[in-house]
Amino acid sequence: MWTQKEITLKSRSRGFHLVTDEILGQLPELKGIKIGVMNVFIKHTSASLTINENAAPEVRVDFESFFNHAAPENEPYYRHLDEGSDDMPAHLKASILGCSLTFPITNGRPNLGIWQGIYLCEHRNYGGSRKIVVTINSE
């Protein structure tokens, strides 16, 4: 059984944002699934997806600080400059974190750990709304 759906996530500020509920709220199909796999793919090169701690909000603040140190703006060796100083670091962060998630579905919901949530990682200052494609394949 297959379900595929394009979802537009609402526009968010630069940073790391918990979007588990925004995504799952648009997938009533999940309820009937006993065993399956879900792929969430973001159709952008300057935003990304990851799964991490869903409780303490400071974790998401520290993610933003860390990745700004790890892939800084205005490195003297950057050549891709025309789209603003936040653009090249955004591409780098997007590839470090990745553009898709694949996780199990069990008995009607994503089989994540109790502390795991889905982050939208918005790497641009003004990224606008972001499109994801969710594909569910199940028994």
Treating both helix axes as pointing N-terminal to C-terminal, what angle do 57-70 and 87-97 enclose, rounded to 10 degrees?
A: 120
Contact map string, positions 14 to 53, toward a copy of itself, x by CB under 8 A: ---------------------xxx-x-xxxxx----xxxx
8 binds a copy of itself (CB under 8 A): no
129 binds a copy of itself (CB under 8 A): no
Compute the least distance from the CB of residue 72 to a copy of itself, in Å: 10
Rule CB under 8 A: choose which of 11, 96, 125, 128 binds a copy of itself.
96
Residue at 84: amino acid letter: G
128 binds a copy of itself (CB under 8 A): no
Which among 7-15, 18-26, 79-87 is the span making contact with a copy of itself, rule CB under 8 A? 79-87
Rule CB under 8 A: choose which of 66, 73, 74, 128 binds a copy of itself.
66
13 binds a copy of itself (CB under 8 A): no
Distance (Å, rounded) from C-alpha 95 to C-alpha 47? 9
Residue of 65, 76, 124, 71 whose CA lies nearest to 93:
71
User: What contacts 48, CB < 8 A, 6 or more positions away?
Assistant: 42, 93, 94, 95, 96, 97, 98, 99, 121, 123
Residue with tokens 């940073």: 15
